[in-house]
Amino acid sequence: MQWTGDATTSKAVTERGFSLGHAGRSVPGIVWTPEDGQAPTPVVLIGHGGGGHKREPHILALARRLVRHHGIAAAAIDGPLHGDRAPADGQPTLEERRAAYRESNVVDEMIADWKATLDALQKLPELGVGKAGYWGLSMGTMFGLPFVAAEPRIAVATLGLMGTGEFGGGRLERDAAEVTCPVLFLQQWDDELIPRENAATLFGAIASTDKRLHAHPGAHAAVPPEEFAFTEAFLAEHVR
């Protein structure tokens, strides 16, 4: 892990950019830590949605609240073809990203990237080996659910805005059967991208005995602000 740019501290939250060299790929990310934190410090990994990046406003807000309110570190990385991993000639369209994902082993690569990121974070002296959680909706679930299924260090996950049959040819449903940590799953009842039946089927496939489904009216991107506050408390309850 190499630091990129200077660390900044605001309201007791220290933010540092990093680049992680892994399997021939450069993985750009950010980590937020308590200004006076002591190891072991738990960490929540945050996956962004399609068309987004590691510095989206809601990701910054969630990360900073976890640090300030609970003393929990947070980290985010750019997904393939997003943010600092996008082609030099600009961000691909949704259809271009979908086509690229179908033709590659991108999910397995993202699992490896998240694992390498968690490995590197837990080697930092200010973090150490504490509990870990995951938060990711939409594309953050497309990549994150398989990661949670494959990574026993993840003690809790917030997932959602995704369903069976989306992008993975049945992989999400198979991986869901391997997810056993506590899960909060968010669904938008009027989601124009994910049919509600597919989202409900994916939730049902999750093997966790401690899981809950929160559904709200509205479109894909209309998750209400109070739900973000609930996810913050849910994650903190299980990693502290």
pLDDT (0 to 100) of residue 103: 63
User: What is the predicted pLDDT for the residue at 169?
Assistant: 60
**Mean local confidence (pLDDT), 20-34:** 94
CATH class, 2-239 region: alpha beta
| pLDDT attached to residue 96 | 75
Residue 95 pLDDT grade (very low, low, confident, very high; cuts 50, 70, 90): confident
Distance (Å, whole) CA 190 – CA 45: 28
What percentage of the chain reaches a pLDDT higher than 90? 78
pLDDT above 90 (res 83): no
More confident residue, 9 or 93: 9
Rounded CA separation 26/113 (Å): 9
**Other CB atoms within 10 A of residue 86 CB:** 16
Task: Specify the range with the lowest mean pLDDT, choosing from 82-91, 199-208, 224-233.
Answer: 82-91
Mean pLDDT confidence for 221-240: 94
* pLDDT attached to residue 141: 95
Q: What is the token pair recorded at 105?
A: 């082993």
Q: Max CA-CA distance within the chain? A: 46
pLDDT digits (tens, 9 = 90+) for 58-79: 999 999 999 999 999 999 999 9
Is the pLDDT reported for residue 84 higher than 90? no
> pLDDT tens for residues 103-158?
668 889 999 999 999 999 999 998 999 999 999 999 999 999 999 999 999 999 99
**DSSP result, 27-41:** EEEEEEEETT--SS-
Contact 196, 118 (CB under 8 A): no
- Looking at the DSSP bridge assignments, the partners of residue 10 are 13
227 phi and psi, to 5 degrees? -70, -35
Pairwise CA distance, residues 27 & 79, whole Å: 8
The backbone region for 202, taken as left when phi is positive above 0, alpha when psi lies in -120 to 50, beta otherwise, is alpha
- pLDDT for position 167: 62
pLDDT at 90: 73
Question: By three-state DSSP, how is residue 70 classified?
Answer: helix
95/134: higher pLDDT: 134
Give dist(CA 172, CA 217) in Å, integer.
24
The pLDDT mean for the chain works out to 92
- Whole-number pLDDT of residue 166: 64
Per DSSP, the residues of 185-200 read EEEETT-SSS-HHHHH
pLDDT average, residue stretch 174-196: 96
Can you give the pLDDT at residue 212? 97
DSSP state of 76: E
Spans of all domains in the chain: 2-239
pLDDT at 92 over 80: no
Using alpha carbons only, give the angle 125, 130, 133 rounded to the nearest 5 degrees: 125
